[in-house]
Amino acid sequence: MKLLVIGCGGVATVAIHKCCENPIFSEICIASRTESKCVDLADKLRDKTKARLTTATVDADDFRSLTALMNEFQPHTVLNVALPYQDLTIMDACLECGANYVDTANFEPEDTDDPAWRAAYEKRCHEEGFTAYFDYSWQWSYFDRFKKKGLTALLGTGFDPGVTQVFTAYAQKHYFDEIHYIDILDCNGGDHGYPFATNFNPEINLREVSANGSYWENGRWVETKPMEIKREYNFAGVGKKDMYLLHHEEIESLAKNIPCVKRIRFFMTFGQSYLTHMNCLQNVGMLSTTPINFEGQEIVPIKFLKALLPDPASLGPRTVGKTNIGCIFKGIKDGKERTLYIYNVCDHQACYRETGSQAISYTTGVPAMIGTAMVVSGLWKQPGVFNVEEFDPDPYMEALNKYGLPWVIDENPTLVD
Ligand code: NDP
């Protein structure tokens, strides 16, 4: 089947490596803003795969640029591993050209001062009670249009969002009658040796981490100040780490799709150096997305900061240590209380040796390929717009073991208070 991959950054590099290993993809076109990166990657992989690899330039903010490429290449499915800013334009182009759609992050606007978007955002903050810039409403609203065309859109098949929801669907299918509590724990025990750098796109990462936290409890959102809730956890393969409660997009879809759930929280580990740098940058205005005039030129502070920070793709050779990402569930089976922890441990250097990327890109890129393969193979083919927990988790869980992200089940985990 023909696959069009849009974007050629850290996550895309791993996803394309893995697509090249999976014979279901017979032809892969790698398209991005900077075609030279696509050409370099295709040249590296051509001898290692039976898939036919081609490259193209595309501006994924431009509907016409996308449809011109899709009409020429005629993809069965498009994997969007560019940025969340492009989600809606790529979905529009898929509808126009009759392609299925897959991504790893939900829509977020690049310009958060746009008046039309602001009005919808403020209405949502008021009605729903969380203030993150991203939410699923924009993409869920495409359901009828995808259904009518007989096309599938699969949202958020990275690790988190992505695998964390597949773990939830698997726990629900095999271990619980009712899941009441879900704690998603994302631990990066890696060290890249810089005082401050982000492991994936700095703009997206810093916007997420500096925002208010929130969790879902008893049918509503509870919002916290950034980093207000802190816990310590002893992670297998990593050791003890401080972790902080964040808002995260899969909480929104799990709250909708997991019946009986009472509380869903998301925690991510951060070191003190990262937090001190981030607070300082925020206090001086460097995380702002509002353009300022500097010596006659308009600049967006966070974009300028991105230009100064190390490129996440360059962290691979320097990063040592492991990640541990998973979910702790508490609920009921056959009338009895039960707890369960499903997690994956991934080694930064092993990922780098295999694909040239560190574990953050690896743990996102592998599930991006698996989700795409689920749609392309027809195992997860249903017309409409879906999150990963809405499909049968079993073939996805098998593929995680096969393609480099084996998971572990602990039936007696330490819980987070
Ligand atoms: P990078 O910044 O490394 O790569 C982004 C790529 O998109 C670059 O190749 C860039 O091109 C390309 N791009 C950006 N704008 C356009 C455009 N207008 N048209 C065409 N191409 C464009 O990001 P990552 O690889 O780190 O992240 C990719 C995605 O994965 C993001 O959406 C991120 O949020 C998501 N993610 C999801 C996770 C999960 O677990 N679910 C975890 C981590 C990331 P150029 O080279 O020209 O800049």
Question: DSSP labels for 109-130?
Answer: -S-TT-HHHHHHHHHHHHHH--
Q: Cα–Cα distance between 265 and 277 in angstroms, integer?
A: 25
* Residue 199 scores a pLDDT above 90: no
Strand order in the sheet with 2-6: 52-57, 27-32, 2-6, 77-80, 100-103, 152-155, 384-387
Nearest ligand 1 atom to the CA of 62 is 18
Q: What is the pLDDT of residues 58-113, one digit of tens each?
A: 999 999 999 999 999 999 999 999 999 999 999 999 999 999 999 999 999 988 88
Highest mean pLDDT among 271-280, 303-312, 379-388: 379-388
Determine the pLDDT at residue 383: 98
Determine the pLDDT at residue 340: 98
Could you tell me if the CB of 207 is within 6 A of ligand 1? no
Nearest ligand 1 atom to the CA of 159 is 40
Q: Cα–Cα distance between 316 and 405 in angstroms, integer?
A: 18
Task: Check: CB of residue 152 under 8 Å from CB of residue 146.
Answer: yes
CA 345 to chain centre: 17
Determine the pLDDT at residue 65: 98
| Angle, alpha carbons 209-212-216 (nearest 5°) | 105
Question: In CATH, what class is 2-155?
Answer: alpha beta
* Residue 210 scores a pLDDT above 90: no
Q: Which 8-state DSSP code applies to residue 415?
A: P
Q: What is the pLDDT of residues 245-255, one digit of tens each?
A: 999 999 999 99
Determine the pLDDT at residue 201: 83
- By C-alpha distance, which of 197, 267, 194 is closest to 235? 267
Task: Check: CB of residue 379 under 8 Å from CB of residue 399.
Answer: no
Could you tell me if the CB of 200 is within 6 A of ligand 1? yes
| Average pLDDT for 123-149 | 95
Q: Which 8-state DSSP code applies to residue 85?
A: G
* Residue 417 scores a pLDDT above 90: yes
Nearest ligand 1 atom to the CA of 163 is 40
- Where are the domain boundaries for CATH 3.30.360.10 in the chain? 163-357+405-410
Kindly indicate whether the domain formed by 163-357+405-410 is annotated with CATH number 3.30.360.10: yes
Question: DSSP labels for 255-267?
Answer: HHHSTT--EEEEE
State the average pLDDT for the chain.
96
Determine the pLDDT at residue 289: 85
Ligand 1 atom 1, closest CA:
9
Q: Cα–Cα distance between 80 and 7 in angstroms, integer?
A: 7
Could you tell me if the CB of 33 is within 6 A of ligand 1? yes
Q: What is the pLDDT of residues 288-331, one digit of tens each?
A: 988 999 999 999 999 999 999 998 878 889 999 999 999 999 99
Q: What is the pLDDT of residues 109-133, one digit of tens each?
A: 988 889 999 999 999 999 999 999 9
Residue with structure tokens 């606007």?
109
- Where are the domain boundaries for CATH 3.40.50.720 in the chain? 2-155
Q: What percent of the chain has a predicted confidence (pLDDT) above 70?
A: 100
Could you tell me if the CB of 413 is within 6 A of ligand 1? no
Burial 380-401 (b: 16+ CB within 10 A, else e): beebbbbbbbbbebebbbebbe
Q: Phi and psi at residue 8, in whole multiples of 5°?
A: -145, 45
**pLDDT tier, 206 (very low <50, low <70, confident <90, very high otherwise):** confident
Could you tell me if the CB of 367 is within 6 A of ligand 1? no
Could you tell me if the CB of 89 is within 6 A of ligand 1? no
Q: Cα–Cα distance between 156 and 187 in angstroms, integer?
A: 19
